[in-house]
Structure 1
């Protein structure tokens, strides 16, 4: 004869209970929002958990060594963490051809002027170069340039190319001037037939040339 089934205990060990709760939660797991990710990134920098911080970026694996080198200095890490935290109240969410900002009423769609998007893309690139954030600068290059470069090689080119500083200076000045927007990209004239050129890829502007 089979033995009668024993009733299950009304209690469970803590570890078993925790596992049960965790498994139950996987069906409706909460994906961290922009504020949570940004705050986690700042906290990882403050605690010198650089691998964790890098995992929260969109940069490619080959850019990690430059990231680790840049944030090896505690003062640089702390400054970046403060910068991220200060930006949280003005957080934006971006996608190809779409930007949302956080307002008192909640997230709102930003309707931009045609020239705003390429101007912002170029500014982000120049800011990344100025901060030595080569992984971000690399991510803002056009597809052909990203195929040719890595963040490390981009850093070396800017370091050893004699005209790099002058080109960045001209590009900064071009940000204040008119921009010509076309169906495929945008141009910031910088005189003598030269321009900073951006292309549209999957709805996003990316830097193609600084002449």
Structure 2
């Protein structure tokens, strides 16, 4: 093993997680370091070490080991992870960091970008009949009145549902009015698609 590799990567008597979380260890691996270590562990068929770097629950351990027990599957995943490293992101509600040539930078979006993206995700979920995702993108008060199943039934029963979705798609091409924690996409005749910002994320509160 190359002498440039951090010493904790070559530990053979301790699990990788123990090496990363040892008492008094001041260094906390960043996203790139963790992703690179994950790819290396898969490449070297150290599946327990790779699994320890995931957030998978204990009952997912055996399926993980079986899945990556196949060398071709491991190689494909290693290539996939390494190809993604140059465009690595760190994301939380209301905050996204991108890794570039100058290091990590905060992604500062135009005011209209976030509500437009949220609305597009909702409409895509509806078009795909992915009612669980569509429901998750509703505002809190609306979500409390619905379940994914009821949302599906309401869209099936409402004669104008398809037309409202079509108009909402068209509205995405136009201007969005962002005021405080709310955003509106006008659809004509004093009607609008409305979103509200909750915990840093926009959620759909009304189609019209």
Identify the TM-score tier after normalising by the shorter chain. Answer: 0.5 to 0.7
- 1: CA distance, partners of 2:160 / 2:130: 19
2:145 maps to which residue? 148
TM-score of the pair, normalised by structure 2: 0.58
> Number of aligned pairs?
149
**SS of structure 2 residue aligned to 1:177:** coil
- Which structure has more RCO (C-alpha within 8 Å, separation ≥ 6)? 1
1:203 maps to which residue? 200
Alpha-carbon offset, residue 172 of structure 1? 0.4
Matching of residues 100-115 of structure 1 within 5 Å: 100-103=97-100, 107-115=104-112
**SS of structure 1 residue aligned to 2:203:** strand
**SS of structure 2 residue aligned to 1:154:** helix
Question: Equivalent of 2:129, from 132, 135, 144?
Answer: 132
Alpha-carbon offset, residue 160 of structure 1? 2.0
Matching of residues 49-88 of structure 1 within 5 Å: none
- 2: CA distance, partners of 1:91 / 1:101: 6
- 1: CA distance, partners of 2:182 / 2:90: 22
Alpha-carbon offset, residue 200 of structure 1? 1.2
- Sort the Cα spacing of 1:26 and 1:199 in 2 relative to 1 into closer, same or farther, 3 A: same
- C-alpha offsets along residues 110-148 of structure 1, whole Å, 9 cap, x if unaligned? 111111111111111111111222111111100001101
Matching of residues 4-23 of structure 1 within 5 Å: 21=15
- 5+ long unaligned stretches in structure 2: 1-11, 23-27, 39-50, 64-79
TM-score of the pair, normalised by structure 1: 0.57
Alpha-carbon offset, residue 189 of structure 1? 0.3
2:25 maps to which residue? none
- 5+ long unaligned stretches in structure 1: 1-17, 48-84
- 1: CA distance, partners of 2:134 / 2:88: 20
**SS of structure 2 residue aligned to 1:145:** helix
Alpha-carbon offset, residue 193 of structure 1? 0.7
- Sort the Cα spacing of 1:123 and 1:101 in 2 relative to 1 into closer, same or farther, 3 A: farther
- 2: CA distance, partners of 1:110 / 1:26: 29
